[in-house]
Amino acid sequence: MVKIINSKPEDFLYQQVADRIEQLIRQESLKTGDKLLSVRMLSKEQGISMSTAFQAYAQLEARGLIEARPKSGYYVRLHPKKLPLPRVTKPEPVEQEISLSEMIMSVFKDLASEEVIQFSVGAPSLELLPAAKLNKSVLHALRESKFHGLNYEHIQGNPALRHQVAKLAFNWSGNITSEEVVITAGCMEAIVMCLRAVTKPGDTVAVESPTYFGILQALESLGLKALEIPTCPEWGPELNFLEDALQQFSIAACVFVPNFNNPLGSCMPDEHKRQLVQMLAKHSVPLIEDDIYGEMYFGEHRPKTCKTYDTEGWVMQCGSFSKSLAPGYRVGWALPGKWTKQVVHNKLITSVSGTTLTQAAIAHFLENGRYELHLKRLRKALHVQCLRYLQAIHTHFPPDIHITRPEGGFVLWIELPERVNAFELYQRARQRGISFAPGQIFSTQGKSYGNCMRISFGRPFDAEMERGIEILGKLIRSHLI
């Protein structure tokens, strides 16, 4: 950082320091996501008092140029100029048959290809995951296993792992015992097991609009209909619309992603979660809560869950370690409330039990306190990546777009000008070695999101990712000619 000459009275020196740092940010000498000097180091380098250094940072925070992160320091944030949020789409209030498989398969057929710039995968890059420490836990599990991990695991899951999952509930103010936990092969199996416990073919299930395409595929596979609930990019599903729908339709269950929804990144305020739980309990409608992204928050505190406010067992919470720790281990869980016995039975007749070795390894990883240390680093990395992807999109995409500003998770939702067809854009981008998720796959009413796209920021931002965003920007502009 350039030394600042003290040419003003001390009362105004903090302003001079703030102005100079702002200039470095505007010139991109300091880039989005860069960590600034600590208050102590800024004071020492610039020859100013600690109080003046703190005031300078406070001034930059007020201008929206930097942000303080608890126990981490100050970071350059996104340029204060903000593009508008995507609009709330009003899907038709009809029970909809589902058929999206062909389009989804075409988008994700090259999921593991290293030759494709992947903006379509809503998960962290493998380089952000603690492979070496997980390997140690796997070796420990092998050494300690009486049968070398070859035996069937308990139907409900590894007891030590269930105990650790129950302890995680403390983070969202939950009070869970290990007997309430059912270990599954990832979050999607948990959701399917819960759906099978509370629905039958032909039933209607309320979902957010847009929602994760995997949820729509699960409904389709079970012969269920989807009723889409308008969802705000900031606050989540519109509860007034849901209240009316509960009066108008026979809704067997709801499947919502309250914390950092995929694809919007929206996060329901805690009070909205409380209202939702009370509303559904009044109508005796179970809520299947997908909380797979809840630990991926950028703020100071983990958001609460709907399960936090569940006093009668109507909330069936589902989660997984796939998005935070080990996608390939396929370890998730369900907290099925009053349907625990049914979910355990569904697990038995579907897959008997989960993988023995990976459950034991993750249990050991959590027992040693490694998970929370890993999460702290992962959250910081994802926050920086989110800001840098946003900055690149601001730079390379046309100015008349709408984009979300999530406070957690992995994804950005972009609303393009109406005359852009996102799936056609995807096909052209794929020819250039770039993949993203077109908006059509996130709704049974694909036309509602035909000009939208989801971009994942799970991979660290580098020259290749910026090149991919630049190419996408050019392709979008060519659609507008």
Q: Residues 68-111: pLDDT tens digits?
A: 887 788 988 866 456 788 988 878 777 766 667 777 777 777 66
CATH number for the domain whose boundaries are 101-126+373-479:
3.90.1150.10
CB atoms inside a 10 Å sphere around CB 254? 27
User: Quick one: pLDDT at residue 19?
Assistant: 87
User: Quick one: pLDDT at residue 470?
Assistant: 97
Contact of 284 with 277, CB cutoff 8 Å: no
| Residue ranges, the chain, pLDDT below 50 | 2-9, 80
Contact of 88 with 448, CB cutoff 8 Å: no
DSSP 314-364: -EEEEEESTTTT-GGG--EEEE-GGGHHHHHHHHHHHHSS--HHHHHHHHH
Domain ranges in the chain are: 10-76, 101-126+373-479, 130-371
pTM of the predicted model as reported, rounded to 2 decimal places: 0.86
Compute the CA torsion angle 144, 146, 152, 156 (nearest 10 deg): -50
The class (CATH top level) of 10-76 is: mainly alpha
Residue 31 CA to residue 309 CA, distance in Å, equals 41
Residue 205 sits at the vertex; the CA angle it makes with 199 and 209, to the nearest 5 degrees, is 155
User: Quick one: pLDDT at residue 5?
Assistant: 45
User: Quick one: pLDDT at residue 101?
Assistant: 73
User: Quick one: pLDDT at residue 1?
Assistant: 54
Q: Is 150 helix (H, G, I), strand (E, B) or coil?
A: coil
Where would I find the H helices in 177-329?
Answer: 187-198, 213-221, 239-248, 270-282
The class (CATH top level) of 130-371 is: alpha beta
Query: Left (φ > 0), alpha (ψ -120 to 50) or beta: where does 223 sit?
Result: left
